[in-house]
Amino acid sequence: MNAIRNAVVIGASGGIGAALVEALEEEDVSVLPFARSFTGDRHLDLEDEASIAAAAARAGSPDLVIVATGLLHDAAHGPEKAIRELDPAWLARQFAVNAIGPALVAKHFLPAMPKTGRSVLAFLSARVGSITDNRLGGWYGYRASKAALNQLVRTLAVEDKRRNDRGLVVALHPGTVDTALSQPFRQAGRDLFKPDRAAVQLLDVIDGLKVTDSGRHFAWDGAEIAP
């Protein structure tokens, strides 16, 4: 990895998160993993700001922080296909996990990241969060919350440039990955990546980022996704 020595992976119990931890360790990067399902010092719940602050205090000054989390469905809810399916509590939860929680990660982790030299704060987003690319409709909460995340990334990048002019804040689309999040919605003929391949592809994108890429949204192959 390009100048990365210490990394944090949030969402490390998920398919992509766990694969990112493994891939970083194979690159001799020191990795501190956090997840909601972890206990003790490795616990971090995106819906609990105190747990985010505590994790940031334990993380030191990482060069790389990856937020590998996302909420598309749960046992009772799936992505909405029509406005009649909109439920305020479910919408609020998707925003809490997909946008507000990641923003709070930035609030507590960015100030501790290096103030000079290369650093990267990366959030897993989704192509469906692109307003320009929305031609099919549906998936109201997931689309809107990921679009909100992309706007937060842009805004964070503008502010963080004043703190470290070589720091990057980016959104990354991993493609369709063989995890529990995508399992009910896979389509025949569409590329499906195993988590270990997805992790390597994402790290390759991170490795190739330039300072001018901060605030932007990139797919797994390095192509920029329109806002």
Tell me the CATH number at 189.
Answer: 3.40.50.720
pLDDT at 190: 64
Determine the angle formed by the axes of helices 49-59 and 101-109, rounding to 10 degrees: 30
Whole-prediction pTM: 0.93
Written as six digits, the tokens of 117 are 């030299």
Are the beta carbons of 16 and 35 closer than 8 angstroms?
no
The reply to whether 97 falls in a domain is: yes
- Smallest CA-to-CA distance from 6 within 131, 109, 134 is with 109
Q: Which two tokens stand for residue 145?
A: 């919350």
pLDDT at 181: 67
- In a domain, residue 226? The reply is no
- The total number of structural domains that make up the chain: 1
Residue 195 falls inside a structural domain: yes
Residue 2 pairs in a beta bridge with none
Q: What is the CA radius of gyration of the chain?
A: 16
Q: Does residue 1 lie within any of the structural domains?
A: no
Of 18, 140, 26, give the one whose Cα is nearest residue 68: 18
Task: Return the closest-CA partner of residue 147 out of 202, 109, 186, 94.
Answer: 94
Let me know if residue 127 belongs to a domain. yes
pLDDT in tens, 3-56: 789 999 999 999 999 999 999 999 999 999 999 999 999 999 999 999 999 999
Give the tokens for residue 216: 């932007």
Domain hosting 121: range is 6-219
Q: Is 92 helix (H, G, I), strand (E, B) or coil?
A: helix
Q: Is residue 91 in some structural domain?
A: yes
Q: Which helix (H) or strand (E) holds 31?
A: strand 30-34
Is 98 part of a structural domain of the chain?
yes
Taking the CA atoms of 146, 88, 102 and 177 in sequence, report the sign of the dihedral they define: negative
Residue-wise pLDDT tens digits, 203-213: 999 999 999 99
Q: Indicate whether 144 belongs to any domain.
A: yes
Ranges of residues in the chain whose predicted pLDDT is under 70: 1, 180-190
